Amino acid sequence: MESVAILPHVLLTAAHGTIVVWMVRLWRTKQAPGDLLIATICGTIAYDNLIIVAAILTGTESLMETMIGLRWAMHAIFTPFMMIVIIDISAAAGNKFVTRPAVRIAVWATVLLFFGKGVLVDLIKIDMGIPAINALTEGIGAQLATLTTEALILALGIDLWRRRNWPWMFIGGVAMLVAAITRPVVLGMNLGSDGAIILLAAFAFSAAHFAKAGRPDTFSDFVTSASEVGEPETESS
């Protein structure tokens, strides 16, 4: 336990917590794509790192052992929702293709499939007894949600770069991919999936950049304004 560095977890807690506060404030004042989802994902990671800090300070090794499994489950549950965030950001940037009902239904179906797998298999540890489901828990199958999410982020990140001269989503996606593959050691900590802070920061800056002023007063106003948020006035999609 003593060998585990506490500083990186403190910094990650602070970084993710800052994004949570930023996104909630943005949600209260503007129409920003994916704001509350970004806040939720960052909130779970901040809580995760805060628990690790508490375990290190109290010397509770059983808590650390529990957190190892819980961290993987939370990653499996919440990572797919990044697909919804990047879809919303792309729509706000003027990409009409991602607003088509068929596209949104397909993305949501994929997200819910991976979410269900994360809850039932990774968190509750239920043996479904179905070969196709069991295959998703081993080898490349266990990483399928992450790979699918990363592929969508990179593809739409390139579109954002081309469409609105906004390269940061693509850069954030590449940085996250590199961190996951190389697992660089920073401040004595093997980043790995903790490199998600880079991608989440890109999400936050993109949400703020493509936010539309004002909050809708009614649900119907929200539906109408959501279809128009961030649409460029002088360029076609």
Total structural domains within the chain? 1
| 127 inside domain | yes
pTM above 0.95, yes or no: no
| 48 inside domain | yes
Model confidence pLDDT, tens digit, residues 134-166: 666 565 555 788 889 999 999 999 999 999 999
| 235 inside domain | no
What percent of the residues of the chain are helix, what percent strand, and what percent coil, each to the nearest 5? 75, 5, 20
Low-confidence ranges of the chain (pLDDT < 70): 1-5, 61-73, 122-123, 125, 127-142, 183-194, 215-237
Dihedral sign for Cα atoms in the order 92, 93, 94, 99: negative
| 149 inside domain | yes
Q: Which domain holds residue 141?
A: 7-212
User: Would you state the structure tokens that stand for residue 18, as one six-digit string?
Assistant: 């800052």
Return d(Cα 214, Cα 226) in angstroms, integer.
Answer: 12
| 231 inside domain | no
